[in-house]
């Protein structure tokens, strides 16, 4: 659907690398261009017309995000992306509030951005990072989480949808459980917020992180949402202009309120405006419609590949548009180079989830990640290429 | 080179590479090359005695180009003196980077003489070279000390 909105689709490509980044619709690029060509100005300090317009657009995106994921717009912090959002939570909040021996529960399917900050904090203040085992389908269940929780567990941090296998974690039940047990709950929404409705309040999330560029928005911008009282307690990791009320030669200073205290320096203004446009664009299509479309495509793909004998599929049952596989006997990178020959863009590798190999016993996979602009014809082209892969080395060598 | 022959040599060395599998022997130099631009990850070990390469072994996961280049390079370097090894490596690097080189001393390594046409695969072809250079660097560091 909506293929005409994406100029890149006019060329003869099948874009299946949406888990890495998505294509950009014209409306998003136009919104950013208008800022650059018609009302360039900095935010929060100009009194002229262009600056007033920019302010309205920039701050207005908080309201759009609030409607999109059901949260208080004042709790929407602009960041450079999911990685920065998580680092802010870990080093701005957790470092201040956790103490030696406190446990943080992760799992081995997590992306580097939700592992390394915690490992670093473990080195710095001696918290304990623990990994909840995955079940036989490599999924993270509430039951396994409960078994891993101890009296020392203070935080559970997980991706709503894992970026390699695409399993959807039941964040509503997990959030409920965390609230009842006074455990802080951080959700990495990078792979879910672009693809399905996410409700910050209903899922009782404490911190939610996501990126703009994986949801039709520009690179360089993302969001951190936190509960108001937590954000008030959280320290900025960047200090400078725009985020302070005053500072004096006697070393006194005061920071502005949430969320502005987290946005030091000139922020990515065009990108924030582009993100707002992207979210409105997604909402105009409807998140349920997007999710259902991806599920339909994945089912269609699974039915079509039944007859291909040499495919190893790792995530038949997961409820998202991510399909992870290998061609038997072929290194994942060779498979992706082969598919590129047919202008089919996929991703090969460990997808930054370098510990997942402990669970699935394979380091590298080929990942097809779909979005609403993919269609049955895209799947047919992929299936045809995979069905004829006996010629793979004639093509890649 | 005829493209069928080229493919045949690469494929043979990919599917049945020589000296795959590491051994437990402390007299070998060792290194790991975790390619930064892609997902190849190979461990290497090399034995040098009296200035001559006696053995090179490897193991790990890598694409067809990295694996085959490793296999072909091992065959090319076994029994060679270090100064000849350096000459081969230098000319191989020049070939991959599309500079002037001496094709006569590269033997089957010439199958990669068009790899520069695929920029994202240059690093794959250079992976065994980088690993062997790293291990040779260790000997030089030791002799300086």
Please indicate whether, in this complex, the C-beta atoms of B39 and A350 are within 8 angstroms of each other.
Answer: yes
SS3 readout for B113-139: CCHHHCHHHHHHHHHHHHHHHHHHHHH
pLDDT for res A248 = 95
pLDDT for res A300 = 97
Please indicate, yes or no, if residue A339 is contained in any of the structural domains: yes
Domain boundary among A217, A252, A284: A284
Distances from the Cα of B42 to the Cαs of A26, B20, B30, B130, in angstroms?
43, 10, 11, 11
The Cα of A247 is separated from the nearest Cα of chain B by a number of Å equal to 44
Chain A residues touching B67 at Cβ < 8 A: 331
Whether the pLDDT of residue A301 is over 80: the answer is: yes
Nearest Cα residue in chain A from B120: A337
Whether the pLDDT of residue A256 is over 90: the answer is: yes
Q: Are residues A315 and A332 in the same domain?
A: yes
Cβ neighbourhood burial of B2 (10 Å; 0-12, 13-18, 19+): exposed
Whether the pLDDT of residue A254 is over 80: the answer is: yes
Least confident window among A20-34, A186-200, A206-220, A359-373: A359-373
- A364 vs B: CB within 8 A: yes
Please indicate whether, in this complex, the C-beta atoms of A397 and B40 are within 8 angstroms of each other.
Answer: no
Q: Are residues A219 and A331 in the same domain?
A: no
Q: Are residues A267 and A296 in the same domain?
A: no
How many angstroms separate the CA atoms of B98 and B122, rounded? Answer: 10
pLDDT for res A374 = 98
Residue range(s) defining the domain that contains residue A160: 26-284
Whether the pLDDT of residue A8 is over 90: the answer is: yes
Which of A333, A393, A394 is nearest residue B39 as measured by Cβ atoms? A333
Domain boundary among A284, A305, A322: A284
Give the pLDDT band of residue A323 (cuts 50, 70, 90).
very high
Q: Are residues A229 and A338 in the same domain?
A: no
CA-based nearest residue to A205, from A259, A157, A263, A149: A157
Please indicate whether, in this complex, the C-beta atoms of A397 and B7 are within 8 angstroms of each other.
Answer: yes
- B35 vs A: CB within 8 A: no
Please indicate whether, in this complex, the C-beta atoms of B121 and A337 are within 8 angstroms of each other.
Answer: yes
Which of A354, A360, A397 to mutate to probe the B interface, most B CBs <10 Å? A397
User: Which CATH code is given to the segment(s) B3-144?
Assistant: 3.90.1010.10
Average pLDDT score over chain A: 95
Please indicate whether, in this complex, the C-beta atoms of B63 and A350 are within 8 angstroms of each other.
Answer: no
Nearest Cα residue in chain B from A396: B64
The Cα of A213 is separated from the nearest Cα of chain B by a number of Å equal to 22
pLDDT for res A244 = 93
ipTM of the complex: 0.80
Give the pLDDT band of residue A355 (cuts 50, 70, 90).
confident
Please indicate whether, in this complex, the C-beta atoms of B63 and A333 are within 8 angstroms of each other.
Answer: yes
Name residues whose C-beta falls within 8 Å of residue A158's C-beta, 6 or more positions apart in sequence: A106, A107, A110, A114, A140, A169, A171, A174, A186, A187, A188
Q: Are residues A340 and A279 in the same domain?
A: no
In tens digits, what is the pLDDT along chain B, a chain of 145 residues?
788 899 999 999 999 999 999 999 999 999 988 766 677 889 999 999 999 999 999 999 889 999 999 999 999 999 999 999 999 999 999 999 999 999 999 999 999 999 988 888 898 999 999 999 999 988 777 776 6
Residue B20: DSSP 8-state: B
Mean pLDDT of A339-352: 90
- Our count of domains for chain A comes to 2
């Amino acid at each position: 659907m909506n293929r005409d909105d994406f100029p890149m689709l006019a060329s003869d490509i099948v874009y299946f690398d949406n888990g890495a980044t998505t294509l950009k619709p014209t409306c998003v690029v136009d919104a950013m261009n208008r800022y650059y060509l018609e009302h360039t100005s900095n935010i929060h300090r100009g009194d002229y017309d262009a600056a007033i317009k920019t302010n309205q657009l920039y701050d207005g995106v908080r309201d759009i995000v609030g409607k999109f994921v059901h949260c208080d717009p004042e709790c929407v912090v602009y960041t450079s992306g999911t990685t920065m959002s998580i680092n802010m939570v870990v080093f701005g909040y957790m470092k201040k509030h956790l103490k030696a021996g406190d446990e943080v529960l992760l799992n081995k399917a997590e992306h580097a951005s939700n592992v390394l900050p915690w490992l670093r904090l473990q080195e710095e203040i001696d918290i304990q990072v623990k990994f909840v085992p995955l079940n036989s389908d490599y999924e993270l269940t509430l039951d396994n989480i409960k078994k891993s929780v101890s009296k020392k567990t203070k935080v559970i941090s997980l991706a709503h949808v894992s970026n390699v296998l695409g399993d959807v974690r039941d964040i509503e039940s997990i959030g409920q459980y965390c609230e009842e047990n006074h455990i802080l709950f951080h959700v990495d929404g990078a792979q879910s917020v672009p693809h399905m409705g996410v409700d910050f309040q209903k899922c009782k999330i404490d911190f939610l992180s996501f990126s703009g560029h994986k949801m039709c928005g520009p690179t360089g911008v993302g969001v951190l949402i936190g509960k108001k009282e937590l954000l008030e307690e959280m320290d900025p990791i960047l200090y400078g202009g725009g985020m302070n009320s005053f500072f004096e030669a006697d070393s006194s200073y005061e920071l502005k309120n949430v969320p502005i205290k987290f946005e030091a320096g000139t922020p990515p203004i065009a990108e924030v405006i582009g993100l707002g446009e992207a979210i409105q664009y997604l909402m105009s299509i409807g998140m349920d419609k997007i999710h259902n479309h991806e599920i339909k495509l994945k089912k269609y793909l699974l039915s079509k590949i039944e007859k291909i004998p040499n495919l190893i599929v790792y995530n038949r049952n997961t409820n998202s548009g991510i399909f992870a596989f290998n061609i038997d006997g072929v290194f994942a990178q060779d498979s992706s180079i082969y598919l590129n020959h047919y202008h089919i863009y996929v991703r090969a590798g460990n997808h930054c989830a370098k510990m997942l190999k402990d669970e699935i016993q394979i380091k590298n996979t080929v990942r097809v990640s779909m979005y609403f602009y993919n269609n049955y014809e895209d799947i047919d082209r992929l299936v045809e290429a995979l069905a004829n892969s006996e010629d793979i080395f004639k093509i890649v060598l | 080179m005829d493209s069928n022959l080229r493919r045949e040599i690469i494929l043979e060395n990919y599917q049945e590479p020589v000296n795959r599998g590491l051994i437990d022997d402390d007299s070998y130099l060792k290194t790991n090359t975790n390619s930064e631009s892609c997902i190849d990850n190979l461990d290497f070990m090399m034995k040098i005695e009296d200035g001559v390469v006696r053995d090179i072994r490897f193991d790990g996961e890598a694409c067809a180009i990295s694996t085959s280049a490793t296999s072909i390079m091992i065959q090319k370097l076994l029994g060679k003196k270090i100064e000849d090894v350096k000459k081969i490596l230098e000319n191989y690097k020049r070939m991959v980077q599309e500079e002037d080189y001496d094709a006569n001393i590269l033997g089957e390594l010439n199958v990669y003489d068009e790899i520069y046409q695929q920029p994202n695969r240059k690093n794959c072809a250079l992976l065994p070279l980088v690993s062997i250079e790293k291990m040779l660097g260790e000997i030089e560091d030791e002799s300086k000390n």
